[in-house]
Structure 1
Amino acid sequence: MQNESTTLSYLPVGIFGGVMGLSGLSVAWKLAHQHFGAPLWISQAIGLAAVAAFVALVIAYGIKAWSGWETVRAEFNHPIASNLFGTPMISLLLLPFVLVDYSLALARLSWLLGAIGMTALAWTIVMRWMTVRLAAPQVAPAWIVPVVGMLDVPLAVPLLQWDGLHGVMVFGLAVGLFFAVPLFTLIFQRLVLEEPLAPPMQPSLLVMVAPFAVGFTAYVTTTGGIDLFAQILYMLMVFVLAVLLGRLRHLPHCSPFRVSWWAASFPLAASAGAAIRYAGQASSPVTDGIALVVLAIASLTILIFLAQTLAGVFKGQLKALA
């Protein structure tokens, strides 16, 4: 019988959320460089960390799949965990922001694999929702990832220097925004009417910010400007983020760190990027202040998550954190 620690059977696919958070934070700091004059090396260093994390996790999860495919299959059939298979796909859609500075071909390949994988996963999950009866307690913020994650498809397209992809951008934007409405409603209803989420899952509540933060950036990227609808998405992002940050302030006192906390990283980073992008178009002390505060919160949160995760890895405690 194989040692469980060597097969990495305990490694959740949702740990790729860390790559999403680092990639999103790299983009946010690049925008901060353009708008506030922040040092560019910060964005570059975070971006390289995202690439390194992605490579390491692909190898680790590949070992898990090779040594125990049934474990992966069980994870994919789980009503909540299956949605987190969108995290490696979204990572592939975000990494081109980093890779394009080193290799356009590699950036294009990453985006292409991510776009195909994200679309296939969204189709699979929606088909499952329509054919398998699920219970209300199984509704979780993670449901947003595989379908609303289509909003990540347009983000890096302008960097790829590929003609003829505007329709693909509109497709990702349309699917992501359309499904964001019922999914947000379902999750909000579950939070109001069912038992509260377990403490280790509380950070995943911040995923509810993603439809507005990523939706804003995807919409602006696709249309090329900030109009009334984009402003509405930005305002909703600020409001929902303020509500959820208030909910999470007691979390460090009620639950030890888990890798599932990385679910909070990308929504925070995406919110920081959206806030800085909005401040760049509607610059004022208020919008600049919001952008700086959100960037600081996202940076500090991801730094803490990274430190806790690396400490767990070096101490051989990754299984406990997972």
Structure 2
Amino acid sequence: MNTVTTSQAPATGKRLSYLPVALFGAVMGLTGLSVAWRLAHAQFGAPSWIAHAFAALAILAFFAQSIAYGIKAFTDFDAVRAEFQHPVAGNLFGTPLVSLLLLPLLLVDINLTLARIVWSIGAILMTVFAWTIVSRWITARQKVAHATPAWIVPAVGLIDIPLAVPALGWEHTLHDVMMFATAVGLFFAIPLFTLILSRLMYEDPLPEAMQPSLLILGAPFAVGFAAYVATTGHIDFFAEALYMLMLFMTAVLLGRLRHLPRCSTFRVAWWAASFPLAATAATSLRYAAHAPSLFTDIVAGVLLAIATIVILGLAWRTLSGIARGELQKLVG
């Protein structure tokens, strides 16, 4: 009897070992979409309940994934360590940290103190994580084939630090912190973008399941716009340039990904596309408020619709897969 229990325990205890940390990208996408719909409420008079609904989903997703990944860490820490040491997947440990930086945008309406605590934890851990990853890059030889869009996550993670600061009422107290995060994040985003673009041009294409991660290449411009505006307090020529670059990269990347659903089996890795799309929609709405015109309104509306449809589709496919017990298959 004891022999049977012992033999079955590892299988039961380690049943979440396959769970990737990158699933926190769903929290990022839902949070970004909630912020975008909040901006749509201000710009177009969209129903406010939509933003609240996505906010609730984002918070629930964060708690559910934190518990699930906590179980993985407790029962199979070796799997977590191997994931962190992986030259590609290790960068995605920034996704739960970015989630901690974005969630205060939603929590501030519930409890300011809680929002400040969550943001502070996220800002400290994100800075330490970025330092760790950059140290890894310059102390160990890297392979060009490993230069994927996931490498941008640590840099973009730093750019996320200033986003919630004005809402927290700390924009004057932490101005230097905001400037540090924006400067370092944008600085590293440039060479990383160049390196990844070079890899895409001269090496084998990314596997089909990883193709949605290409949208991460647009995130530095969308998030960079938001961070720069939050830090400086206004939209100037540089911010406008970031907006224009974002539009160009979004057009290029959406064009490449339009056939993906018909030629590749769904994987939860597709959630990598959710936050870049939501951030693009939010940035477009902010710019439309700054420079109102038929063109900017149409662009903002179209990008918001695309982000909403894609994220709802990802959520439906993921939840239906979980309901059918296919999560491990969808991770592979």
TM-score under structure 1 normalisation? 0.99
Find the aligned partners of 1:304 and 1:296 in 2 and give their Cα distance. Answer: 12
Q: Is residue 156–residue 223 contact of structure 2 (8 Å, CA) maintained in 1?
A: no
The number of residues matched between the two structures is 322
* Alignment match, 2:271: 262
* Alignment match, 1:188: 197
Deviations 1:43-92 (A, max 9, x none): 01100100000000000000000000000000000000000000000000
Q: Is residue 94–residue 154 contact of structure 2 (8 Å, CA) maintained in 1?
A: yes
Identical amino acids, percent of aligned pairs: 61
Offset, 1:269: 0.1
Find the aligned partners of 2:285 and 2:65 in 1 and give their Cα distance. Answer: 30
* Structure 1 vs Structure 2 CA RMSD: 0.9
Find the aligned partners of 2:263 and 2:36 in 1 and give their Cα distance. Answer: 30
Q: In the alignment, residue 97 of structure 2 is paired with which amino acid?
A: M
Find the aligned partners of 1:10 and 1:208 in 2 and give their Cα distance. Answer: 26
Q: Is residue 213–residue 234 contact of structure 1 (8 Å, CA) maintained in 2?
A: yes
Q: Is residue 7–residue 63 contact of structure 1 (8 Å, CA) maintained in 2?
A: no
Find the aligned partners of 2:12 and 2:242 in 1 and give their Cα distance. Answer: 45
Find the aligned partners of 2:52 and 2:105 in 1 and give their Cα distance. Answer: 10
* Alignment match, 1:213: 222
* Alignment match, 1:27: 35
Q: Is residue 5–residue 319 contact of structure 1 (8 Å, CA) maintained in 2?
A: no
Q: Is residue 163–residue 227 contact of structure 2 (8 Å, CA) maintained in 1?
A: yes
Find the aligned partners of 1:230 and 1:193 in 2 and give their Cα distance. Answer: 31
Offset, 1:5: 7.8
Q: What are the equivalent positions in structure 2 for 1:298-313 lying under 5 Å apart?
A: 298-313=307-322
* Alignment match, 1:282: 291
Whether 1:142 aligns to 2:150 is yes
Find the aligned partners of 1:62 and 1:145 in 2 and give their Cα distance. Answer: 21
Offset, 1:256: 1.0
Whether 1:69 aligns to 2:77 is yes
The partner residue of 2:162 within 134, 138, 154 is: 154
Find the aligned partners of 2:121 and 2:15 in 1 and give their Cα distance. Answer: 26
Secondary structure, counterpart of 1:316 in structure 2: coil
* Alignment match, 2:53: 45
Q: In the alignment, residue 229 of structure 1 is paired with which amino acid?
A: F
Find the aligned partners of 2:143 and 2:98 in 1 and give their Cα distance. Answer: 27
Offset, 1:203: 0.2
Report runs of 4+ in structure 1 exceeding 4 Å deviation. none
Q: Is residue 151–residue 176 contact of structure 1 (8 Å, CA) maintained in 2?
A: yes
Q: Is residue 25–residue 272 contact of structure 2 (8 Å, CA) maintained in 1?
A: yes
The partner residue of 1:12 within 1, 8, 20 is: 20
Q: In the alignment, residue 328 of structure 2 is paired with which amino acid?
A: K
Find the aligned partners of 1:28 and 1:5 in 2 and give their Cα distance. Answer: 39
* Alignment match, 2:208: 199
Offset, 1:148: 2.5
* Alignment match, 1:59: 67
Gaps of 5+ in 1: none
Find the aligned partners of 2:169 and 2:242 in 1 and give their Cα distance. Answer: 27
Find the aligned partners of 1:6 and 1:299 in 2 and give their Cα distance. Answer: 34
The partner residue of 1:120 within 112, 124, 128 is: 128
Find the aligned partners of 1:5 and 1:175 in 2 and give their Cα distance. Answer: 41
TM-score under structure 2 normalisation? 0.96
Deviations 1:145-166 (A, max 9, x none): 0123211000000111235111
The partner residue of 2:188 within 179, 202, 210 is: 179
Find the aligned partners of 2:235 and 2:256 in 1 and give their Cα distance. Answer: 30
Offset, 1:190: 0.3
Secondary structure, counterpart of 1:153 in structure 2: coil
Q: Is residue 127–residue 158 contact of structure 2 (8 Å, CA) maintained in 1?
A: yes
The partner residue of 1:36 within 37, 40, 44 is: 44
Q: What are the equivalent positions in structure 2 for 1:97-116 lying under 5 Å apart?
A: 97-116=105-124
Offset, 1:6: 5.2
Q: Is residue 104–residue 160 contact of structure 1 (8 Å, CA) maintained in 2?
A: yes
Q: In the alignment, residue 68 of structure 2 is paired with which amino acid?
A: A
The partner residue of 1:78 within 79, 86, 89 is: 86
The partner residue of 1:242 within 251, 263, 267 is: 251
Offset, 1:284: 0.4
Gaps of 5+ in 2: 1-6
Q: Is residue 91–residue 150 contact of structure 2 (8 Å, CA) maintained in 1?
A: yes
Secondary structure, counterpart of 1:146 in structure 2: helix
Q: Is residue 151–residue 218 contact of structure 1 (8 Å, CA) maintained in 2?
A: yes
